[in-house]
Amino acid sequence: MAMLEFDNVAVYYGKVQALRGISLTVEEGEIVALLGNNGAGKTTTLSTASGLVKSHSGRVSFNGTDITKAMPWNVVGAGLIHVPEGRRIFSTMTVLENLLLGGYLVKDRALVAKRIATVYELLPLLAERSTQQGGTLSGGEQQMLAIGRALIAGPKMLMLDEPSMGLAPLIVARVMQVISEIRDQGTTVLLVEQNARAALKVTDRAYVIDGGTTTIEGRAVDLLGDSRIIDAYLGA
Partner 1 sequence: MIQLIWDGLFVGSFYALIALGYSMVYGIIKLLNFAHGDIYMLGAFIGFAVLTSVGGIPASLSIGALLVVMLVSMLLTGTAGVLIERLAYRPLRGAPRLAVLITAVGVSFSLEYGISALAGPNPRAFPIRLEGNVFVLLGARISLPQIILMLIAAMLMVLLNFYVEKTSTGRAMRAISLDRNASLLMGINVNQVISRTFFIGSALAGAAGVMAGAYYGKIDFLMGFIIGLKAFTAAVIGGIGNIKGAMLGGLVLGFVEAFGAEWFGGQWRDVFAFAVLILFLTLRPTGILGQRVTERV
Q: Which residues bind partner 1 (CB under 8 A)?
A: 50-52, 71-73, 76-77, 81-84, 86, 88-93, 97, 100-102, 104-105, 133, 135-139, 142, 149, 153, 166
* Chain centre distance of CA 146: 10
113 C-beta neighbours (distance < 10 Å), count = 13
Question: Shortest Cβ distance from residue 174 to partner 1 (Å)?
Answer: 18
CB of 212 within 8 A of CB of 27?
A: no
* Chain centre distance of CA 121: 21
Question: Shortest Cβ distance from residue 79 to partner 1 (Å)?
Answer: 10
Burial status of residue 204 (CB atoms within 10 A of its CB: 0-12, 13-18, 19 or more): middle
28-40 CB burial, b ≥16 within 10 A, e <16: eebbbbbbbeeeb
Question: Which CB, 146 or 200, lies closer to partner 1?
Answer: 146
Question: Which CB, 86 or 218, lies closer to partner 1?
Answer: 86
Question: Which CB, 154 or 218, lies closer to partner 1?
Answer: 154
CB of 193 within 8 A of CB of 234?
A: no
Question: Which CB, 33 or 100, lies closer to partner 1?
Answer: 100
Question: Which CB, 36 or 102, lies closer to partner 1?
Answer: 102
- Residue 141: phi and psi, rounded to 5, are -65, -40
Question: Shortest Cβ distance from residue 107 to partner 1 (Å)?
Answer: 9
Question: Shortest Cβ distance from residue 96 to partner 1 (Å)?
Answer: 11
Question: Shortest Cβ distance from residue 194 to partner 1 (Å)?
Answer: 16
